[in-house]
Amino acid sequence: MGSARFIAQAFRLGLFQACLGALSVLTLGIFNRLLIEEFDVPAALTALAIGGQQLVAFSRVWFGQRSDRCRWKGLRRTPFILSGAVVFCLLAWVAGRTVLWVGAASLAGDSSAVMVRGLLLAVVFVGYGLAISASSTPFAALLVDVSTEKQRPALVSIVWSMLMVGIVVGANLLSAFLGKTCENADLSVVISGVERLIVVAPLVIFALVLISIIGVEPSIDSGKSVTNALPQKPSAELSLSQAWRVVKASPQVGYFFAVLFLFTFSLFLQEAVLEPYGGAVFGMNLCETTELNKWWGIGTLIGVSTTGFLLVPRLGPQRTALIGGLLSAVFVISMVLSGGIGSESYFKIALLLFGYSAGVSTNASLTLMLGLTSPLMAGTFIGVWGLAQAYARGAATVSGGTLLSIFGSLTGGQNTFAAYAGVFSLQAIGLFLAGLMLLKVDTSLFKTKVDQALGSVAAEELE
């Protein structure tokens, strides 16, 4: 699976993912809960605003392809990763201020101002999404650059485990930072706590990104070789149109794109409604619902971290994904049943088990994703898969809030148990179908078609 040095480097790279996990708690956890519960902003508007970050996911292909061609001081991925991190940390603060601005309009009863400010918040998150795309897509390509095919299941286990660590630790630290804010009935105290949080969190996160990335990528000019021995040509000379021709050459690209979209959409459909569900059905306060991420994150951490060592090497990624999908669907339904009987402890256990099964599926699908690339075009292919994941997650964020509003209109209110049960039931169906469809992904066919297309492009260049 790799030397001690490789494992240490994997954990270091995982710090970047941990930072993204902590940011997701801040944006999709605290900001989302504040808008819906404390400020009573419509769930659909909230979902549209926060989901705005996924509207620019198409840029992932461009950023990935540009990182393939980049040769800034002998580095391809690092310039994109760090510059993107500067921007998304800055915009996390801007987004926090804008959330409070929207909340002020809602508390004042100015519905037109809520709408205008909510749309401006969406614009902020569009910029935030561009920065995330510019940073995270080259980061994933860097993982392909520094690993072999045999090392990738272990690399996925470690790096994406750190994503879950970021969610769990982030949820705990953010709640601890807010302190007695959550227990105070005075909303002004809550707002003051959030104002402090949005200043400190981006600074800490950027410092950790620097520790994670600086010095990891071997310089092409230095003569050092990465594990995959990536050549500078012809990848450096492929135009975006040529790269796109190679991407379209394999029918597995379109199929895996669709399956990855369905899986990611279903996995995150609950993200925008999980914390409001805890507040509406179980009467949890802000800190208690923020800590729900801990239960989901711990389960996912166990699933992701063990699957690459125990299940994928024995069953293969396709069958492992099927098992994870089936279990995920079962435990989502268990989360609904816990609300029906009003058992908070049962709900947390179901959430923990859902996290585990989601971790199993995530590891398997990510292993497939990193395998469905070419060393010559890692950034471009990662951009395509990132496009599927980002649009799916954005669609899930928007759909979660929108479906909650729709089911709420049918059941007497968006904060009723029946409305939340409708969203979770649709999620379970999607997870089951995605698990079945992943069985038909053919990595051998993919690689054959891509190699043929690259050969065709190279032949044209020689003519």
Cα dist from 27 to 36, 108, 268, whole Å: 13, 23, 14
pLDDT digit string (tens) for 292-332? 877 887 888 899 888 888 888 888 888 898 899 899 999 99
Phi/psi region, residue 342 (left: phi>0; alpha: psi -120 to 50; beta: rest), is left
Mean local confidence (pLDDT), 351-359: 92
Given a cut of 90, whether residue 164 has pLDDT beyond it is no
Pinpoint the alpha helices (H) of 372-411: 378-411
Quick one: pLDDT band at residue 180, thresholds 50, 70, 90?
A: low
- Of 34 and 101, which is predicted with more confidence? 101
Stated length of the chain: 463
pLDDT digit string (tens) for 10-27? 999 999 999 998 888 888
Residue 435: name the closest of 329, 352, 335 by CA. Answer: 329
Whether 225 is covered by a domain: the verdict is no
d(CA 186, CA 234): 62
Question: According to the model, what pLDDT value does residue 293 have?
Answer: 73
- Of 250 and 383, which is predicted with more confidence? 383
pLDDT digit string (tens) for 392-446? 877 887 788 788 888 888 887 777 888 888 889 999 999 999 988 888 887 777 7
Whether 283 is covered by a domain: the verdict is yes
% of the chain with per-residue pLDDT over 70: 88
- 178 neighbors 193 (Cβ within 8 angstroms): yes
Supply the Cα-derived Rg of the chain in whole angstroms.
22
- Of 252 and 427, which is predicted with more confidence? 427
Rounded to the nearest integer, the mean pLDDT of the chain is: 82
In 46-135, beta strands by DSSP E: none
Question: According to the model, what pLDDT value does residue 224 have?
Answer: 47
d(CA 22, CA 341): 32
Tell me the β-bridge partners of 72. 75
Question: According to the model, what pLDDT value does residue 283 have?
Answer: 83
- Of 386 and 361, which is predicted with more confidence? 361
pLDDT digit string (tens) for 220-231? 754 444 444 444
d(CA 51, CA 43): 12
% of the chain with per-residue pLDDT over 90: 25
Q: How far is CA 73 from the centre of its chain?
A: 30
Whether the bond into 234 is cis, omega within 30 of 0: yes
- Of 190 and 341, which is predicted with more confidence? 341
Q: What is the pTM of this model?
A: 0.72
- 371 neighbors 378 (Cβ within 8 angstroms): no
Question: According to the model, what pLDDT value does residue 90 have?
Answer: 96
Given a cut of 60, whether residue 129 has pLDDT beyond it is yes
Whether 226 is covered by a domain: the verdict is no
CATH of the domain at 141: 1.20.1250.20
- 329 neighbors 273 (Cβ within 8 angstroms): no
Number of structural domains found in the chain: 1
Quick one: pLDDT band at residue 99, thresholds 50, 70, 90?
A: very high
Which string of b and e fits 171-209 if b means at least 16 CB within 10 Å? bbbbbeebeebbebeeeebbbebbeebbeebbeebbebb
Q: 53 lies in which domain range?
A: 4-220+232-462
Cα dist from 331 to 62, 74, 189, 270, 358, whole Å: 37, 48, 36, 12, 10
d(CA 32, CA 309): 35
Backbone angles phi, psi at 286, to 5 degrees: -60, -45
Given a cut of 90, whether residue 351 has pLDDT beyond it is yes
Given a cut of 60, whether residue 462 has pLDDT beyond it is no
Mean local confidence (pLDDT), 73-92: 92
Given a cut of 70, whether residue 234 has pLDDT beyond it is no
**Is 72 strand, coil or helix?**
strand
Which range scores top for mean pLDDT: 53-57, 115-119, 438-442?
A: 115-119
Q: What is the CB neighbour count within 10 angstroms for residue 336?
A: 21
Given a cut of 70, whether residue 236 has pLDDT beyond it is no
Given a cut of 70, whether residue 132 has pLDDT beyond it is yes
Question: According to the model, what pLDDT value does residue 79 have?
Answer: 92
pLDDT digit string (tens) for 135-159? 998 998 898 888 877 788 888 888 8
Cα dist from 368 to 44, 248, 316, 387, whole Å: 33, 18, 10, 15
**Is 272 strand, coil or helix?**
coil
Whether 227 is covered by a domain: the verdict is no
